[in-house]
Amino acid sequence: MTRTATSPSVDDWRRRLGGRWLVSWPMYAIGTPIAFVTFTWSEIARAPAGTPAVTRLATAGLVAVACAAVGAWMLLANATFLRHRAVHPVPFVPALIFLGSFGTLFAIVLVVGAPLVGAPPIESPAFTIAAMAVISAWWGSMLVLLLDARERITADRVIVLNAAVDQEIATIQQADLSRVLRDYLDTRVVDELQGVRDTLDQALIRVESDARIGGWTEVSEDLRIAARASVRQLSADLWSMAEAAYPRVTLRSMLPAIVRTQPLRPLAVAGLTVLVTVQSTTERLGWAVGLLATFVGALAVYVVLALANRVMRAWPRRHAAIFIATIVLISAGGMATTAASGGEVTVIGSIFNLAVTAIILIATSAFGAVYRANTEMLGSLASRVSQESIANLSRQRELSAIARQAASVLHGQVQTRLIACAAAIDRAVAINDYALLTRTLEQARDILEQPLVVEPTPASLDDLLRAHRERWAGLVELDYEPGMSVDLDLATLQQVSLVVEEGIVNAFRHGEATHVRVSVSEDGRELRVSVVDDGAGPGSRVDPGTGSALLAHITRDRWELSRVSVEGGARLDAVITR
């Protein structure tokens, strides 16, 4: 089913603001260089003529320390009170306060450190700190929402491509390519597991010739090794085959769309102009004249941008040229104002002013407008992709889907059943049950003979969880609330089954848990699945494998594994968007 991009509601924006991008490496990598260049230049420009080069260098170092302090604060937040934000978004107001704290910390370092490095002390430190908090909250919000929009545009592009690819897939399936691909994977998997089957064949022969079963523990260990090593590695190899490449959307690719299609934001830019220029203007002209000059300048900016929007609407084919010309005009006006008020104008300063003006105008246009550009990009995407490209993508996607299904079956069902067989062999040895031993060995042989047989998905959530309980009976006690009123389609049930299977396998294999509780709840279009166990809990360092890749694919990276308490226990939380 095709989906079109729509402008998110205010509530949706607020929820996204507190999500996974609230603290992120791209956010820091984009914002920090801009802050470093801007404040290094402004602090050096404030220094009196004849200031030693060492002092200017120390000033640059102070700004770098402020940037590092912000980075340390982000790392601390990411590791502590914001570590669950991807699954449980931070409320709107706390998210804004947190974004403002970047600017507050940055300004405090500059205010405290300026006298220590010999730089001129910052006048009106309270105003500087407050203004930096507001600018940081605004700038951070813009970056968070822009990064979120980029992620969603990427997902929308895949959906549009899928719509075009689905038609080609029908042709591919009619041509029996799917059968060829499945036969290839079946053969490869069967060959990879041949060594384990040979071990079981020898074990069955020994059982038939020797009724003593006291030494059969080694067979159960062979099965555990197969589940842990052979099957796990094979599922990882198949999963790597499943990584289909779709066109990715970069922030750089969004820039032309903003310049060519988006209006300027007069009110946002005028407000930012007041915050950025009021301190330096009042320092030069005094409070009365400085405030008047600041607001007159902001009004002029508002008028110029509003007129530019009217001109762009009148001549849409010249939109990009008018947009760029407006950036140059605003920058030139700022430099002329500086010169008229007695400030120094240099070539480097003019270039720097032009760059900052471009960043501000483009950033404000990107804020809240990127989804409208997305609609246009999605509308023309399918027509831009050649039929040959669609055919290639279709073949790759079909192989990807088959390989991913094989990987998930191996990682989930096959591992689970082999582990259960190993436990049954141990139980047969403990109670000296010859019939149980023979039956279990034959069952393990059948599993390895046809490892990619997919078990049918139950028709309801209750039936699904009941099937998991029966599969793990005797190994792990599975607890859930019967009759959960969640109506799910078959595809979503399959995703829930994979998440639950991964949670139970981890609890049993890594945590040695004996009890697991599963809960599923709805939150709009989102489905929240939690698997809590009483095992040892996750270790301090967990190497991601096929299970992590599986969860990331199903949830779009909205999952986390955390420790329940100091004593132990693990909690797997996953969010599935329907």
CATH code for the domain in which residue 539 is found: 3.30.565.10
- Compare 191 and 273 and report the one with higher pLDDT: 273
Answer with the one of 175, 196, 214 that is the final residue of a domain.
Answer: 175
Same domain for 158 and 12:
yes
**Partner residues linked to 561 by β-bridges:** 572
Rounded Cα distance between 415 and 506, Å, is 11
Answer with the one of 142, 175, 208 that is the final residue of a domain.
Answer: 175
Token pair, residue 463, equals: 């039936």
- Compare 528 and 547 and report the one with higher pLDDT: 528
Confirm whether 100 is domain-assigned. Answer: yes
Rounded Cα distance between 105 and 79, Å, is 18
Confirm whether 317 is domain-assigned. Answer: no
Q: What percent of the chain has pLDDT over 90?
A: 10
Residue with tokens 């929007």: 309
pLDDT of residue 325: 92
**Start-to-end Cα distance in the chain:** 12
**Mean pLDDT on 381-395:** 50
The overall average pLDDT reported for the chain is 73
Same domain for 466 and 533:
yes
Same domain for 192 and 44:
no
Phi (first) and psi of residue 461, to 5 degrees: -65, -40
**Could you read off the pLDDT of 53-108 as tens digits, one per residue?**
787 788 888 989 999 999 999 999 988 988 888 888 888 889 999 999 999 999 99
Confirm whether 361 is domain-assigned. Answer: no
Confirm whether 56 is domain-assigned. Answer: yes
Rounded Cα distance between 416 and 474, Å, is 13
Q: What is the 3-state secondary structure (H, E, C) of 215-242?
A: CCHHHHHHHHHHHHHHHHHHHHHHHHHC
- Compare 91 and 351 and report the one with higher pLDDT: 91
- Compare 388 and 444 and report the one with higher pLDDT: 444
Alpha-helical (H) ranges within 51-176 are: 53-79, 92-113, 125-174
Residue among 555, 502, 568, 566 at smallest CA distance from 531: 502
Number of neighbouring beta carbons within 10 Å of residue 562: 15
Q: Does the pLDDT value for residue 198 go beyond 90?
A: no
On whether the CB atoms of residues 103 and 272 are closer than 8 A, the answer is no
Same domain for 161 and 188:
no
Q: Does the pLDDT value for residue 24 go beyond 50?
A: yes
pLDDT of residue 555: 82
Q: What percent of the chain has pLDDT over 70?
A: 61
**Mean pLDDT on 242-254:** 52
Rounded Cα distance between 51 and 541, Å, is 50
**Partner residues linked to 479 by β-bridges:** 517
Answer with the one of 175, 190, 209 that is the final residue of a domain.
Answer: 175
**Could you read off the pLDDT of 296-348 as tens digits, one per residue?**
888 999 999 999 999 998 998 898 899 999 999 988 887 887 777 666 677 77
**Partner residues linked to 529 by β-bridges:** 520, 574
- Compare 212 and 92 and report the one with higher pLDDT: 92
Token pair, residue 451, equals: 């490892």
Confirm whether 481 is domain-assigned. Answer: yes
Confirm whether 575 is domain-assigned. Answer: yes
pLDDT of residue 523: 78
**Mean pLDDT on 48-57:** 75
Highest mean pLDDT among 246-260, 318-332, 438-452: 318-332
Same domain for 561 and 443:
no
Same domain for 27 and 10:
yes
Confirm whether 339 is domain-assigned. Answer: no
What are the contacts of 447-450 at 24+ separation with CB within 8 A? 447/414, 447/417, 447/418, 447/421, 448/193, 448/196, 448/197, 448/200, 448/226, 448/418, 449/190, 449/197
The model's pTM is 0.54
- Compare 87 and 194 and report the one with higher pLDDT: 87
| Helix (H) / strand (E) containing 283 | helix 266-285
Same domain for 474 and 451:
no
Same domain for 202 and 113:
no
On whether the CB atoms of residues 527 and 575 are closer than 8 A, the answer is yes
On whether the CB atoms of residues 403 and 178 are closer than 8 A, the answer is no
Confidence grade of residue 1 (pLDDT, cut at 50, 70, 90): very low
Measured CA to CA in angstroms, residue 215 lies from 159, 195, 398, 426 at distances of: 56, 21, 46, 10
**Could you read off the pLDDT of 496-523 as tens digits, one per residue?**
888 888 888 878 777 778 899 999 888 7
Rounded Cα distance between 501 and 201, Å, is 29
Highest mean pLDDT among 47-61, 70-84, 110-124, 278-292: 70-84
Token pair, residue 85, equals: 């934000």
pLDDT of residue 72: 95
- Compare 423 and 10 and report the one with higher pLDDT: 423
Number of domains in the chain: 3
pLDDT of residue 114: 86
**Mean pLDDT on 252-256:** 68
Same domain for 485 and 471:
yes
pLDDT of residue 308: 93
Confidence grade of residue 490 (pLDDT, cut at 50, 70, 90): confident
Same domain for 23 and 160:
yes
Structural domain range at position 519:
457-578
Q: Does the pLDDT value for residue 246 go beyond 50?
A: no
Same domain for 547 and 408:
no
Lowest mean pLDDT among 159-163, 211-215, 312-316, 479-483: 211-215
Confirm whether 58 is domain-assigned. Answer: yes
pLDDT of residue 321: 92
Rounded Cα distance between 337 and 232, Å, is 67
Same domain for 150 and 39:
yes
